[in-house]
Chains A and B, each alone.
Chain A
Amino acid sequence: MKLLRRIVALFRRSSIDREIDEELQAHIAMRAEDNVAAGMSPDAAARDARLRFGNPTVVRERTEHVDFALGIDSIWRDIRYAIRGYRNAPIFAIVAITTLALGIGANTAIFQLLNEVRLRSLPVANPEELVDIRIIGGNHGMGISDTRYSSLTRPLWQEIERSHEPLSGVFAWTSNFQNMQTGLTANDIRPVRSINVSSDFFNVLGVAPFAGRFLGPEDAASACTSSNAVVSYSWWQSQMGGRPITAAESVVLDGTQYRIVGVAPARFFGLAVGESFDFVTPLCIPPNVQREHFDVAVMGRLAPGWTSDRATQWFTSASKGFFETALPQGYSSNTTELFRNFKLGAFPAAAGVSNLRDSYDSSLWILLGITGLVLLIACANLANLMLARASARQREVALRMALGATRARLLRQLLIESSLLAITGALLGVGLAQLFSRLLIRALTTGNDSLTLTVHTDWRVLLFAAAVAILTCAVFGTLPAFRASKADPIHALKSGDGHASSRRERFSLQRIMVVVQVAVSMVLLVTALLFVRSFRNLMTVDPGMRERGITIGYIDFHNSKIDPARIEDFKRQLISEVRAVPGVTNVATTSMIPLNGGSWGHGVDVGPKEGNSRFTWVSPTYFQTMEISIVSGRGFNDNDIQSSPRVAIVNKAFIRTFLDGQNPLGKTVRTKAEPRYPSTLFEIVGVIPDTKYNDLRGAPEPMVFVPAMQFPIEANVPGAGVVISSTLPSSVLGEDIKRVLASSHPEIRTRFFELQQQIRNNLLRERLLAILSGFFGALAAILVMVGLYGVVSYLVTRRRNELGIRIALGSTRARIISLVMSEAGRMLLLGTLIGAMISLAATRGASSLLFGLKSWDPVTIALAVASLATVSALASFLPAFRAAALNPVEALRRE
């Protein structure tokens, strides 16, 4: 209450004055009344009362002083004083505030992203009750997995839907890209993101429609034929103009017509953080559902009284029945047994799921660390500035102390000055962070892989910014303030110049700060160089195949209604048509596009050895198109067909793993049985070198290539991936091919993109880390240069006298320069040593993000030392040169 009154009093200072006045006047009046009662005349009574009281103004001021001495009012006065001071030195204030705003802004921006992908809960009702039902330890690569979020099969979902005691509600969902019809012909399509959901999806999540209605059980019943759909708010706004939902609104996705019945609220982005959706459609479970297809995710809401641990226990014990009922047919006995022994668990899912989180989590923490260190360096520079300012104000401080200001009082004044800078910097920084985080999100968004992330400035972000501001304030404000308030007033007042006192001490403080700066920037430079070199390694790594001038195409011809037995022939016909397009040098089909994510493997028996290998079905021209050489044996040809013996080409890693370096030609590989892929015996007829598989980072793994014509007919799907080598850019070539194919097969759909572009997109994280850490590393170096320059210049000014004497006594300019520079050199040496040790420890955590080099890379450390040495040589040479150019007569006369 008292504090509140004082704060109020701040704005009504006169009312406090009035209150005291009134109290004193009442006193005088009462005395006068008593005097009159005692028989005095009114005039005499009043005079006597005033005489006894003394000067009312003085009393009032003394009383006021008691009330305000250490109160808020004087803080306000200090703040006004500080602002006046900064107004007199605007450059200092601008530099300090800009530095802080940029530093705090960068830190807050990265924290904001971290908050978004990691800390925030889903925008649904009571997100902490949500659990994700998954197989504990994953499915060991069994079956076919579609996206990274889907971990269960549809039959398993049906079992869970039937029996889920710990959960009050449960739903299945899967997200994918579908083709939306945009024009009259089949190939007029655009990819849209849709979420297929079971009927309780919105109900369990507790999300209410923005307009219209959501999907319910009646929609699930007709999910596979024709049904209803919900659109996202952004789709409704951008594509439908936000008009009311009527019965006439419909959309065709992958050939199925959906009537639009509702709009989701704007804040609902689905369950995957960093992604968005355009449509929500009912999940179709066909009668002949593929039981080895792990393509749905299941989430539920814990019933009252259940925890995720207890729910896991329940699901684990119920798993046996679930998996027995959902057992896929056609697997080898080992795999079947594996499936039977899977156990389900319930995992907390309040923050949803996120590929973004998985791939960027550690990078963001590293970036946060980097920006934090840069801020630390900037703070050290600011502290130096503050010190310089404090020493210039030494006389003022000394005068105030001589006039009776206490140390606490002065300390408070100085701390108020620095926290004023920190607060202004933090406020601007939070504003800048909005800009920075949006720029970062834009940088993370690649062509076809859109990233939808709305950044919020919630209490966590504000708390973080406040904490950073307080910390910076402590670093750059406290030390100089303590230092200044320790001044000896008599000494400071006596000596004419402003910076006479405690000279030695302050000096070593500045030196310590330079050493810390050098050490920290050493860490930053090592980190930056590691990421840059790692990225360079990735960019120059040889994948073992051609990547330039390769166009990737996906051809979907399920509308052509080709008999499964004739699909390979049809593909052959298609690629001969593509081959005839001008500009195409070579073309081949493949079941698996290289270096593009995804994977396809089978269990194999090679003689006595058992294991897993990648399998790719390719047409004969694949190796020529991708420029992969056959090192021994033969490639595939048109005689390798369904009716001829099964043949295979393996890579060297396969030979190393399964054949111990024996001659592989003539050896056989038997695959393990899987649904629609019966166990098959292949004879090895050729060998290729090791090539990268789905990712540039990966180590070579065993690979088997098999002729496309020998693909199991029962597994055939009406679609093909093609690789095309050409001199034309993919965009041009893609359009040409589309035109050619559209005339002969108007019903097929195609999509083309450039392989190299795709590879670059997949290196986005590495590129971002390299660019940002490189930028911050360079920034750190510049900051250190500025700091070192300031300190060395100061040092030269301090030693002016001594240097003048040295020159007068015949010291050469070269010796003066080396004298000054060796001073800087010592600080550099110490800082570098400390920094090198810290960076050895610090970068160990980043080794999983590095490619082709260890975290203790000697070349990197040498490079960092070299660049720091260059920087500090530059920073100290100018002051040293100036020192050498001193006119001794002038230098000596000044003192």
Chain B
Amino acid sequence: MIDALFEGLFLVLQWKALAFMLLGIGLGFWVGLLPGLGGATTLALMLPFIYTMQPVEAFAFLLGMHAVVATTGDITSVLFGVPGEGTSAATILDGHAMAKKGEAGRALGAALASSLVGAIVGAFALALAIPVVRPLVLSFGSPELFMLAIVGIAFIASLSAQGVRGMLRGFLAGGLGLFLATVGQDPQAGVARYTLGTLYLWQGLELIPVLVGIFAIPEIIDLVVRGTSIAGTRPSGRISKGAFEGVKDTFRHFGLTIRCSLIGTFIGIMPGMGGAVAQWMAYGHATQSARNAEERKGFGAGDVRGVLGPGAANNSKEGGSLIPTIAFGVPGSTAMAILLGAFFLLGMVPGPDMLSKHLPVTFSMVWTIVLANVITVLACFMFLNRLASLTTVRGQLLIPVILMLVFIGSYTSNNHYGDIVVTLLFGGVGYLMVLGGWPRAPFVLGLVLGKIAENYLYISVARYEAAWLTRPVVLVLIALAIAVILYPLFQSRRRAAHA
């Protein structure tokens, strides 16, 4: 195992593999910055270039590119409130709020440093888990995956504001998300639900246009109304010198960063959970770290822990999501499906052999993710403070650029005008939610997990009827979901007892 680990590292450090990885990183860096132009699209575009490469070089190129997309995707989330990727939306809640408080540099520093820690922890957790990863994945059938989605939905309790009113709003927002997840053709009976007679809605609501609308549009309206720069009237000197403070924050809350990294790795390993889930579960866990009601209120208003959690989970899940792809041939995301295509192009067959006979190649992929993140974060720090200065540029100059990013980002989801309509519609919903003090995170969590939960519940009942409820892992996850729901209540009781 250790031999394979080092052999994998040496494979990536061969000059050709390293050169291709650097090329991939360069491409991924810019793709991550551009909202909507996702890592998956770029992977697909780059696929024809790997024909003449050796497997290690090809994967260094493709994974190097893919690994940094999540890292640089955080940059637009923090600076402009526009999710660079569907997987970096959770960073907006506190990252952009920090930017508006004049702490863009600190938020970016925290996002990047936690991304780096996440990638490293994820890779090492994965390396340690390889002997048990196959039985682990196989022990999670549809009933367990359904319950895992329920645990995710239970985080709505933590993502909602305190008190009965806050909790009610959170669960209603989550319910709206769950309802909207039912839009589209249902996979069980093939019935088109709530499609309003349009073909566009047959495949359901695409996540990117919804996320861009619900998060970016309210920020743009806010910027227009304020008539200032994103950071308001704060002096630019302080804004552009906070990056190192963000790094220190990562180590101040190191335990949280590690835990969120492990959440990301676990969600990544689970086939069928999708890339967008990990960040929200990590964000939900980060909010649980608030020690008192005052601190809890700070989440969503610029608490650095709200940046560290999703940042770490986003990058740690990348290593994890390799497992179902390479060991079982089941891609966990569109990007991984394209990577699976690369396997076949290179004449490799995903399967158990990738965890035994070809383990060094598997480890070379894990190392690529780690090295790509290290290189990207170091490169980013060279001009992070300059990027942060963008938050001091007058709103009138920034708004056209942000609007362009918003509409290009949403339109490239399906190349359909429906994407723009969805963005505008959910922009209105998002703005009303912000005005009324309704939390947006539970809504997104409901939307992301709704379809997953519905599918696995149907399969579980169709396959096992009620017997699935007695499976041991299901029982453990039921207990975990209850604990997650009751945790905020337990926290407030404990606070009251201390007071």
Chain A complexes with chain B:
no
Please report B residues at the A interface, Cβ cutoff 8 Å. none
